[in-house]
Amino acid sequence: MSTYNGVSRRKFLKMSSAVGLAIALGGGLSACGSPSAPTPSATQVGGGATSGGSSPVRLDFWDMVWGPPEYIQTAKDLVKQFNDEHKSIQVNYRSIPWNNWYQTFTTAIGAGTAPDISTGAGYQAVQFYDSGAILPVDEVIEEWRKSGELEDFVPGSVDILKYDGHYVALPWAIDIRIPWYRTDMFEKAGVKEPTNWDELRAALKQLTGNGKYGMVASNDTGGTHYLYFFILNNGGGIFTKDRKLDWMNPRNVEAIKYLSSLVKDGSVSPASAGYSGDDASKAFGRGEAALKIDGPGFDQGFPADTAKKMAILPPIKGPHGDLGTVYWINNIMLYKQTKDPEATMEFLKWWSKNQKPLWTKGHNGQLPARKSFASDPYFKNDPRLSFINDKWVSVGKTVATHAPSIFPQLNAVEGQGVMQTLIQDILQGKDPVESMQKAEPQLKAIMGES
Amino acid sequence: MSTSVTKQEVSTLLSSRRRGRLESLPYLLVLPSLALICLIELYPFVTGFYYSLKSGSLLNTGEFVGLGNYIRLWSMPDFIHALYFSALFAFFAVFGSYLVGLGLALVLARDVPGKGFFRVALLIPWIIPSIVSITSWRWLIQDQHGSVNVFLSWFGLGPYYFLSSEHLAMLSVIVIKIWRSFPFMMVSLIAALQTIDQSLYEAAAIDGAGRWATFRYVTLPHIKTISVVMWILMTIWSVNDFDTPWLLTQGGPSNATENLIVLAYRYTFAGNMVGIGTAIAFTMLVILAVLSILILRYQERED
């Protein structure tokens, strides 16, 4: 017995209680975050495009998965087209999944193996610019301003990406949140499309009953979009023009109180606080909720017979007559690690002008940042897409509102969990003002104002 | 003084060299493993601790802040809550899984019909990959159409939105953790029970001991050592459990089911605050190490 005890003690003191655990915890995390200064290592082979050498410049282009499988193939075909047209520049296309995208990029930048150019999440360019990894595209913007090319972009979309006096990326797509509803449930309940908040509240109440609910939300980042939707719809905003936190302003409080009142009415599915975005979408698809706020490609995720029963509400007026929703200007950015900025910018310009097939063939789930693309029959002949382009894009606002452009802290504001906790509080029926007050110190900490 | 070396002297010299080689051989054999351990375990450990002393992000090392991150933790409400929930989660996971495991082990250690089948079947919660079992649990309990609510509705109960309220979510995470963990307790305890000499039970019966007295004075002392080991292991595994709260609730709603490891993940990867994230991880390490040592010392004193 004593021998057994002795062995077990030693084993556990050695194995379990200290070193093994320390390594599992501390080491596991530390291994993932190995910050170091970026070092140049772009994949240039032979002479550059401008050097007149025989070997082509090789560029790495990392593109996020922005649509169904045909999107990737279309993007590959486009890259091939570029390569065929530009013998001195050869681009390697790599599709990057959204899972762990941030780690993928940070690891690559830290290891000096960043791509020359990439698409990315809404705040990726400003975040990485702040870390010294992004090459501004000022000269492209200046060139296009002179040539008039810049006029083709949705108003404001280019300047939203101006940070620290530099254009850190070029806009290419718009992700926007819009209220989708089920026409069958509206018809059955005899509800007309609401045009203002009072009507929306009444409609959701009328749609609720027999185990079905007016609206469904989720507890993840998709759920936080409801917060931004109502805040921006009410003419509110989380920031001042000079990027200071302005969280508890009356418009924001009014919007969150309104959302909370919908929950207290019983019009929001009680399962929402436990639903992921996918769960909420499935509940909507099963006809358990009549309304869900989601992106432009939301209907693509449903069978045709369900998608037929879906429609989009027109912009709803807030109590002060404001219109609005949240949108993100997705961007394409260059990395400082590139060895041939000139060739990379050439590809950037070509890609920006020629990427329309990403929608027409690749069925990209977002909207184009170029007006000329949006006027293509692909969009014009699709009643939903044209409706979003015509009615919603013009009232879109960023989470940075009322600041004129995006900034790095927005990533933590959206991603760190403060807003997720807030929407979960609201969906559980907690006091909205107390919940907002609880979030304020964390938002201040993110902004460095505490 | 002669410079010539005799055969015997050469032989002695060689044998002493051989002896030296033989003595150093174990160390040489261990060296590659040791180097590998240092590379893949010690280096990340030391580096992780170094990061916890800095205010860095995933891209920048940041400034040296000393113990600033560790001090800051204690003024963070989410850290205090995560600490509380980790303790609660670990306590009930250990207690619950041990009770269930012990009960089943006592039954299955006997000659009961279908013993072999049940021993294997009851291992399923332990064997199934966590992503499969926890996702299945989500479907079972998340809304009014989940099987659990359908079942409850037969008795006029519910619906209960188990993942949509803080208390029910905490309860759900703990119950599912117990469900996932009891097979380990059961198997270990069955093994321990089988080592008890049957003559002790016969002697207890002759002495007129009842079931409880037999369990209290014969069974329990013999499974005590393995039980302590399992409690420590299960405590460590529960505090370190990322899968159960993350896959079930992602730490919600309103951070109710956020334990320390989920919090460390959130700060490190979602919040890009590597210093705070690693400080949380190392604080966990210290707490667990102290806890383990205390339990082991207690057991030593009892022995």
- % chain B with pLDDT above 70: 95
* pLDDT in the model for residue B100: 97
Long-range residue pairs from B86-90, CB within 8 A, at least 24 positions apart, any chain: B86/B238, B86/B239, B86/B259, B86/B260, B86/B261, B86/B284, B88/B170, B88/B174, B89/B173, B89/B174, B89/B177, B89/B238, B89/B239, B89/B241, B89/B245, B89/B257, B89/B259, B90/B234, B90/B235, B90/B238, B90/B239
What count of residues does chain B have?
Answer: 303
* pLDDT in the model for residue A33: 36
Residues B174 and B245 in one domain: yes
Peptide bond into A402 cis (omega under 30): yes
Closest chain B residue to A272 measured between Cα atoms?
Answer: B164
Q: Which residues of chain B from 7 to 26 reach within 8 Å of chain A, CB to CB?
A: none
Which token pair is B228? 């302590």
* pLDDT in the model for residue B4: 56
Considering only residues A392 and B57, tell me which one the structure prediction assigns the higher pLDDT. A392
* CA A144 – CA A140 distance, rounded (Å): 6
User: Is A363 exposed, middle or buried (CB count within 10 Å of its CB: 0-12, 13-18, 19+)?
Assistant: middle
For residue B217, the 8-state DSSP code is I
Q: Using the beta-carbon criterion (under 8 Å), do A17 and B236 form an inter-chain contact?
A: yes
For residue A288, the 8-state DSSP code is S
Domain assignment present for B280: yes
Residues B74 and B37 in one domain: no
Per-residue pLDDT tens for A99-117?
A: 778 888 988 988 889 999 9
Residues B47 and B80 in one domain: no
* Identity of the residue in A5, A31, A35 whose CB atom sits nearest the CB atom of B61: A35
- Closest by CA to A334, choosing from A66, A107, A90, A59, is A59
Choosing among 3.20.20.140, 3.40.190.10, 2.40.50.110, 3.40.630.30, the CATH entry for A178-294+416-447 is: 3.40.190.10
Mean pLDDT is lowest, of A14-28, A45-59, B85-99, B226-240, for: A14-28
Q: Do domains A57-174+328-393 and A178-294+416-447 have the same CATH topology?
A: yes
* pLDDT in the model for residue B135: 94
Residue with tokens 């008039």: A148
Domain assignment present for B112: yes
Tell me which H or E stretch contains A253: helix A250-264
Peptide bond into B253 cis (omega under 30): yes
Residues B212 and B257 in one domain: yes
Give the pLDDT band (50/70/90) at residue B22: confident
Whether A326 and chain B come into contact, CB under 8 Å, resolves to no
* CA B284 – CA B292 distance, rounded (Å): 12
Q: Which residues contact B9 (CB under 8 A, 6 or more apart)?
A: none
Per-residue pLDDT tens for B268-292?
A: 888 888 999 999 999 999 998 898 8
Choosing among 3.90.960.10, 3.40.190.10, 3.90.1170.50, 1.10.150.20, the CATH entry for A57-174+328-393 is: 3.40.190.10
Q: Which residues of A touch B292 (CB under 8 A)?
A: 12-13, 16-18
* pLDDT in the model for residue B251: 93
For residue B41, the 8-state DSSP code is I
Residues B26 and B72 in one domain: no
Q: Using the beta-carbon criterion (under 8 Å), do A12 and B232 form an inter-chain contact?
A: yes
What residues does A380 pair with on adjacent strands?
A: none
Residue B157, φ and ψ in degrees, nearest 5: -105, 155
Whether B36 and chain A come into contact, CB under 8 Å, resolves to no
What are the sequence ranges of the domains in chain A?
A: 57-174+328-393, 178-294+416-447
Q: What integer best gives the mean pLDDT of chain B? A: 90
Residues B18 and B154 in one domain: no
- % chain B with pLDDT above 90: 69
Question: Considering the entire predicted model, what is its pTM?
Answer: 0.84
CA distance A109 to chain B (A): 8
Mean pLDDT is lowest, of A311-325, A432-446, B21-35, for: B21-35
Helix, strand or coil, per DSSP, at residue A94:
strand
Helix, strand or coil, per DSSP, at residue B143:
coil
Considering only residues B18 and B95, tell me which one the structure prediction assigns the higher pLDDT. B95
Residues B281 and B205 in one domain: yes
Mean pLDDT is lowest, of A36-40, A59-63, A183-187, for: A36-40
Q: Which residues of B touch A430 (CB under 8 A)?
A: 254
Residue B145 has pLDDT above 50, yes or no: yes
Q: Using the beta-carbon criterion (under 8 Å), do B142 and A2 form an inter-chain contact?
A: no
CB A170 within 8 A of CB A365: no
CATH number, domain containing residue B169? 1.10.3720.10
What is the domain extent for residue B264? 68-302
The ipTM is 0.80
